[in-house]
Amino acid sequence: MKVLVAVKRVVDYNVKVRVKADNTGVDLANVKMSMNPFCEIGVEEAIRLKEKGIATEVVVVSIGPNAAQEQLRTALALGADRAILVECNDELRSLTVAKLLKAVVDQEQPQLIMLGKQAIDTDNNQTGQMLAALTGYAQGTFASKVEVAGDKVNVTREIDGGLQTVALNLPAIVTTDLRLNEPRYASLPNIMKAKKKPLEIITPDSLGVSTASTVTTLKVEAPAARSAGIKVKDVAELVEKLKNEAKVI
């Protein structure tokens, strides 16, 4: 079974981003970029499926700037077999990304497609579900457990208030949640080996997908700042303040 994993290059999760002075976006100049943490979990899961003998090939795909090759090389170092970059410098909306991924799915015909549940830059949480709609496949979002069984995949999902398990016909789309697995680190020999693995670069045009969108970002602002309050000296003072000053208990 072939597994396709979509990965996104995003600002590293440890970076505290700042809004640009002209309110056109956030300042990403000289900021550390990494693979989106949820995508990393997707790559890890695919590699584990390969180690278990369920997956035969793991293909990673990224849609983004030329520099996203770094994240694809990381995925190759972790154990993916082959990478595809759909090179595009524009900021794309999730629907466009899903259409580009659909074109890649049509070419690659994977049985399982893994994506992160959301990217930590735009926080949209849309692409996997949209790809599922465009391909007509079933979707298992926010997965904390993935078990392939014959022509089905059982996905346990993190839902409000607990867990839900669904059985999906393959091919299917799975989006990852935090507890699915703990991604490994790439070893130095594997990082060296990854440099020789195939990485193909294509364009949105070659896939016949327009990158136009119906959504425009008018401005980006810093959130209203919350000022620090006071320090209380003990529990008694805290309870007194909550009762008489804040009046919340």
Partner 1 sequence: MAILVIAEHTNVALGAATLNTVAAAKAIGGDIHVLVAGAECAAVAEAAAKIDGVSKVLSADNAAFAHQLPENIAPLIAEVGKNYTHILASATSNGKNILPRVAALLDVDQISEIIAVESADTFKRPIYAGNAIATVQSNAAIKVITVRGTGFDAVAAEGGSASIEALTVGGDAGISAFVGEELAKSDRPELTAAKIVVSGGRGMQNGDNFEMLNRVADKLGAAVGASRAAVDAGFVPNDMQVGQTGKIVAPDLYIAVGISGAIQHLAGMKDSKVIVAINKDEDAPIFQVADYGLVADLFEAIPELEKAL
Angle between helices 94-108 and 127-135 (to 10 degrees): 50
Of residues 24-43, which lie at the interface with partner 1 (CB under 8 A)?
A: 26, 38
Q: Smaller CB distance to partner 1: residue 161 or 189?
A: 161
Answer whether 156's CB lies under 8 Å from 181's CB.
Answer: no
Identity at 73, one-letter amino acid code: R
Q: Which one among 31, 159, 198, 206 touches partner 1, defined by CB under 8 A?
A: 159
Looking at beta carbons only, is 69 or 111 nearer to partner 1? 111
Q: Which residues 40-69 are close enough to bind partner 1 by CB under 8 A?
A: none
Out of 21, 29, 188, 249, the only residue in the binding site for partner 1 (CB under 8 A) is: 249
| Binding residues for partner 1, total number by CB under 8 A | 78
Identify which of residues 46 and 153 has a Cβ nearer to partner 1 in the complex: 153
Find tokens 């000022």 and name the residue: 227
Query: Between 1 and 20, how does the x/- string for binding to partner 1 read (CB under 8 A)?
Result: ----------x-x--xx-x-
- The alpha carbon of 10 is separated from its chain's Cα centroid by a whole number of angstroms, namely 9
User: Please, which residue, 13 or 66, has the CB nearer to partner 1?
Assistant: 13
**25 contact partners, CB below 8 Å, separation of at least 6:** 19, 217, 220
49: phi then psi, degrees, rounded to nearest 5: -65, -35
**Per-residue x/- mask for partner 1, residues 185 to 224, rule CB under 8 A?**
----------------------------xxxxxxxxxxx-
- Look up residue 222 and give its two tokens: 């810093």
For 192, the enclosing helix (H) or strand (E) is helix 188-194
Residues in the chain, how many? 249
Select the residue interacting with partner 1 from 1, 12, 103, 144 (CB under 8 A): 144
- Whether 119 contacts 68, CB under 8 Å: no
**Amino acid, res. 238:** L
Candidates 57-65, 78-86, 160-168, 202-210: pick the segment binding partner 1 (CB under 8 A): 160-168
Positions 92 through 131 that interact with partner 1 (CB under 8 A):
93-95, 98, 118, 120-131
Q: How far is the CB of 31 from partner 1 (least distance, A)?
A: 11
Strands 152-159 and 82-87: unpaired
Select from 105, 168, 174, 194 the one that contacts partner 1 (CB under 8 A): 168
Interface with partner 1, residue 167, by CB under 8 A: yes
Q: Which of 55, 139, 146, 204 binds partner 1 (CB under 8 A)?
A: 139
Classify burial at 190, counting beta carbons within 10 Å of its beta carbon; exposed 0-12, middle 13-18, buried 19 or more.
Answer: middle
